[in-house]
């Protein structure tokens, strides 16, 4: 029988080496999958993991694109991780992402075609607020009535999706868009556009913000008492209340942070890469970010790497599709495997495994 003992000090080597083992496992099983599908497994895996980063053809473009694809994931996951540490479960980031985008689009389009430098910053603020307000619904219900926040935040995703659909065929529909659903393209409205900061790279303000936020959270959680409070609240809520921490305050704060960052991510995605509100504007960033938060072990630096790895599989997956004719579904399965292995392997980071011969040993006393 296997006995688990939580590790007090997680080994740095294990933290670094376990994701590599997981990726290796994925390569083996994914390779088998590609082989079954009649594709060269070595070439497929090379196209997914190597080409976007290193090949002459793709890397110049793909490297910054990985950052662009990863930035909403990282931004949202960072916010979520604070709550997760404190045992507060916001799984509705997808909805907050949508609301952030919708509110900022509403503000931006209401001002169209006025040109003013303040419009974009105003939209950033409104998007962040939109996400925060949407996240505050489960937070207030949780703090006031102790309503389960997992479920309320999830329900609010569905509501936000309906609101998005309604807005894209209704009030936000582009009056010059030949009647197709979807709003005006904000990239063509200079004051509301989230410009490319380095020509040809696609890197926009969202990327800058997400990297700054990684740094900020890293600092905050390590050096500031806030980090300690969050951890205490999550690990030992009783002790936290003795220490004078109000649980309502922590709940509202965690939801505001995660909702705000999700809303901000939605806003940057809208004004930058996406350009316009459409019915399918949300492509699952809010849900994928939950996975990213856990892959990153709720640690800001870890989340940065996890987000980049996820983005790499998206970008590499597309390359492998048109270079090798691998179906999109196979890429999904491959990503699923990667997540399974990465999530499972954490066990040996968190716990010391030891084998006991007598399985009744624990009952003796």
Tell me how far, at minimum, the Cβ of 225 lies from another protein, in Å. 26
Does residue 4 touch another protein according to CB under 8 A?
A: yes
Among 96, 132, 183, 187, binds another protein (CB under 8 A): 187
- d(CA 352, CA 360) in angstroms, rounded, equals 19
- Tell me the CA distances in angstroms from 251 to 131, 203, 216, 283, 341, one per residue in order: 15, 33, 21, 27, 31
- d(CA 93, CA 266) in angstroms, rounded, equals 10
Residue 352: count of CB within 10 angstroms of its CB: 12
Binding to another protein (CB under 8 A) within 329-358 occurs at 329-337, 339-340, 343-347, 350-351
Binding to another protein (CB under 8 A) within 242-301 occurs at 269, 272-276, 278-281, 283, 287-288, 290-291, 293-295
> Which residue stretch of 102-110, 157-165, 219-227, 232-240 sits at the interface with another protein (rule: CB under 8 A)?
157-165
Does residue 86 touch another protein according to CB under 8 A?
A: no
Q: Applying CB under 8 A, what is the total number of residues that bind another protein? A: 106
Nearest Cα to Cα of residue 288 among 257, 310, 304 = 310
Copy the structure tokens of residue 19. 């994701």
Tell me how far, at minimum, the Cβ of 84 lies from another protein, in Å. 8
Among 38, 200, 225, 355, binds another protein (CB under 8 A): 200
To 5 degrees, how large is the angle CA 220–CA 226–CA 232?
A: 125
Binding to another protein (CB under 8 A) within 37-56 occurs at 37, 40, 42-43, 45-46, 49-50, 53-54
Binding to another protein (CB under 8 A) within 161-180 occurs at 162-163, 165-166, 169-170, 178-180
Does residue 94 touch another protein according to CB under 8 A?
A: no
- d(CA 165, CA 179) in angstroms, rounded, equals 14
Does residue 85 touch another protein according to CB under 8 A?
A: no
Tell me how far, at minimum, the Cβ of 245 lies from another protein, in Å. 21
Write each residue from 106 to 125 as x if it is in contact with another protein (CB under 8 A), else as -, in one continuous string.
--------------------
Contact 183, 165 (CB under 8 A): no
Binding to another protein (CB under 8 A) within 208-247 occurs at none
Tell me how far, at minimum, the Cβ of 343 lies from another protein, in Å. 4
Contact 356, 3 (CB under 8 A): yes
The tokens 């492998």 sit on which residue? 320
Among 12, 145, 225, 355, binds another protein (CB under 8 A): 145
- Choose between 91 and 257: whose C-beta lies nearer to another protein: 91
Q: Is 275 helix (H, G, I), strand (E, B) or coil?
A: coil
Tell me how far, at minimum, the Cβ of 21 lies from another protein, in Å. 10
- Choose between 117 and 360: whose C-beta lies nearer to another protein: 360
b (16+ CB within 10 A) / e for 210-219 = bbebbeebbe
Contact 328, 342 (CB under 8 A): no
- d(CA 133, CA 96) in angstroms, rounded, equals 8
């Amino acid at each position: 029988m296997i006995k688990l003992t939580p590790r007090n000090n997680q080994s740095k080597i294990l933290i670094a080496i376990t994701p590599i083992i997981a990726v290796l496992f994925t390569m083996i099983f994914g390779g088998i999958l590609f082989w079954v599908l009649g594709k060269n497994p070595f070439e497929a895996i090379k196209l997914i993991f190597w080409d976007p980063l290193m090949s002459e053809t793709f890397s110049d473009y793909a490297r910054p694109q990985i950052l662009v694809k990863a930035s909403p994931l990282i931004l949202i996951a960072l916010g979520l991780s604070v709550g997760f540490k404190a045992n507060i479960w916001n799984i509705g980031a997808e909805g907050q992402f949508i609301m952030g985008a919708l509110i900022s689009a509403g503000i931006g389009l209401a001002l169209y075609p006025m040109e003013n430098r303040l419009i974009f910053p105003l939209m950033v603020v409104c998007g962040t607020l939109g996400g925060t307000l949407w996240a505050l619904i489960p937070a207030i219900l949780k703090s006031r009535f102790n309503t389960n926040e997992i479920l309320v935040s999830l329900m609010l995703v569905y509501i936000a999706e309906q609101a998005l659909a309604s807005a894209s065929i209704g009030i936000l529909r582009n009056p010059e868009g030949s009647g197709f659903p979807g709003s005006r393209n904000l990239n063509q409205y200079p004051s509301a556009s989230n410009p490319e900061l380095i020509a040809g790279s696609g890197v926009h303000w969202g990327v800058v913000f997400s990297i700054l936020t990684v740094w900020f959270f890293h600092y905050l959680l390590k050096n500031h008492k806030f980090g300690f409070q969050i951890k205490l609240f999550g690990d030992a809520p009783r002790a936290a209340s003795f220490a004078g921490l109000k649980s309502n305050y922590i709940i509202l704060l965690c939801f505001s942070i995660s909702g705000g960052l999700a809303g901000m991510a939605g806003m940057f995605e809208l004004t930058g890469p996406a350009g316009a509100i459409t019915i399918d504007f949300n492509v699952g960033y809010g849900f994928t970010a939950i996975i990213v938060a856990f892959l990153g072990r709720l640690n800001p630096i870890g989340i940065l790497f996890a987000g980049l790895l996820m983005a790499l599989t998206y970008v590499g997956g597309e390359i492998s599709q048109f270079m090798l004719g691998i179906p999109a579904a196979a890429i999904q399965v491959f990503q699923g495997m990667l997540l399974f292995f990465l999530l499972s392997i954490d066990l040996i980071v968190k716990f010391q495994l030891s084998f006991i011969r007598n399985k009744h040993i624990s009952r003796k006393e």
